[in-house]
Amino acid sequence: MTPVEVRPEMTIVWPEECPYKIEPLKVKKRICIDLDGVVCEYNFPKIVRDFFGVDLSPGAIFAYDLADVLGVAPVLINSMFNKQVYGPPNLIEGAVDTLKEWKSLGYDLTIYSNRIKYMGYEGLVNWLIDWQIPFTRADGGMGEYDVHIDDSPGKLMSTQSNLKLLFNQPWNIRCCNITGRLVRVNNWKEIRDYVQAQI
C-alpha cells in the first residue's frame, strides 16, 4: 500500500497594499540621425569646384538635390560624392558630444544616411567606428522613431517619426513646410533642448 502524504492546511493572507514599488518599464528613446549636413559638414562649393571646375557660391545651393542645382545627371553627382564619403569628417560643433551623451543614456541611435548608396551598410558602419561617431544601428529610415534629425525635408517626411527636426542649411531654407510638421533647428544645443523636452 502506497503511503499518502498529508499536507497541513494553509491560509494565505495577501497584504492590502503591495509593499514593493513597481516602476513602469522605460522604453529607450529612438532617435534617427542623418550624417551629412547634420553631424558632418562639407564645403560643397569646394567639392563642386574640384570635381566640375565650376565656382559656386554657398548661396547658389538652393535645393537638397545637387543634380537639380547644377543641372547635371544624378550619376555625375554620385561620382562626385563617391570620392568624398570615405574621407575624414568635418564634424559640426556639439554633434558627437551629444551623440555620446545620448548613447550613455541608452538611447537607440539609428543612422539614416544617403552614404549607404555609396558605401553600403558595412562600409558605413566601419566608417562610423573608425571616426568614433556613436550609433546603435544604420538603416534606411524604415523604423519608427521618437525623433528624426535631418537636413532633407523629404527624408524627414518619409519616416515614421514623432518629432521631425529640420537642421537649417542653405539648401532647405526655401522649404515651405506646408504640413507644419517640420521644426527648424540651427545647432546641436537646440536639438538637445527639443530631445530633452520629449522625455
User: CATH number, domain at 143?
Assistant: 3.40.50.1000
Q: What is the pLDDT of residue 89?
A: 92
Percent pLDDT > 90 in the chain is 69
For residue 16, is it within any domain?
no
pLDDT at 177 over 60: yes
Rounded distance between C-alpha atoms, residue 73 and residue 83, angstroms: 17
For residue 13, is it within any domain?
no
Write out the E strands in the chain.
Answer: 30-33, 108-111, 137-138, 144-150, 160-167, 182-185
Q: What is the mean pLDDT of the chain?
A: 88
Instruction: Give the number of residues written for the chain.
Output: 199
pLDDT at 22 over 60: no
For residue 132, is it within any domain?
yes
Q: Report the domain count for the chain.
A: 1
pLDDT at 87 over 70: yes
Average pLDDT on 150-160 reads: 97
pLDDT digits (tens, 9 = 90+) for 24-76: 455 689 999 999 999 999 888 888 999 999 998 878 888 888 899 999 999 99
Q: Which domain holds residue 158?
A: 30-41+90-197
For residue 84, is it within any domain?
no
For residue 14, is it within any domain?
no
pTM comes to 0.82
In sequence order, the β-bridge partners of residue 166 are 150, 184
Q: In what order do the strands lie in the sheet with 160-167?
A: 137-138, 108-111, 30-33, 144-150, 160-167, 182-185
Average pLDDT on 153-165 reads: 97
Average pLDDT on 108-119 reads: 93
For residue 3, is it within any domain?
no
For residue 73, is it within any domain?
no
pLDDT at 88 over 80: yes
First-last CA distance in the chain: 68
For residue 112, is it within any domain?
yes
Average pLDDT on 4-33 reads: 63
Q: What is the pLDDT of residue 7?
A: 55
